Amino acid sequence: MTKDIIALNRSDDLERAEMLFKRYNIRHMPVVNEESIIGMLSYTDLLKISFADVTEDNHNINAVVYNMFSIEQVMTKTPICVSPNTTIREVAEILAESEFHALPVVDKDTLVGIVTTTDLINYLLKQF
């Protein structure tokens, strides 16, 4: 899992989300209220409502679209979470059976990490 979490607060806006996705080259971000997870936002979620990936010249268009929605309206609410003790096999089974590619890792209601399909692939590559 990734322990250095880039997360959004429920009060953040979608422009900030896009900026963080692009700056850190990530595709999933937990949405938190203090340290508790309330949702997950993916870059794909943004693409569904904007032109975020088309060109850099569309900032004004995206600003208008982003102002029409809040993070809470676009995010996946109550995501499936795993604990730090969840096995790699269990995580792989959840991701293989689901339509998403990231799971928040929660310990006693506190977000402690995120595990993605990329994390699993990197783990497998290290085994060979």
pLDDT in tens, 57-76: 555 555 667 788 899 999 99
In percent, the amount of the chain with pLDDT more than 90 equals: 73
Instruction: Give residue 20's identity as a one-letter amino acid code.
Output: L
Question: For strand 8-9 and strand 102-107, is the pairing parallel, antiparallel, or unpaired?
Answer: unpaired
User: 12-16, 38-42, 55-59, 81-85: lowest mean pLDDT where?
Assistant: 55-59
Q: Please identify which residue in the block is written with the tokens 């402690």.
A: 112
Identify which of 126, 123, 120 has the alpha carbon closest to the alpha carbon of residue 94. 120
pLDDT in tens, 27-44: 999 999 988 999 999 999
Q: Which domains does the chain have, with CATH numbers?
A: 8-127 (3.10.580.10)
Residue 50 CA to residue 37 CA, distance in Å, equals 25
Q: Does position 49 have pLDDT exceeding 90, yes or no?
A: no
Residue 87 CA to residue 76 CA, distance in Å, equals 24
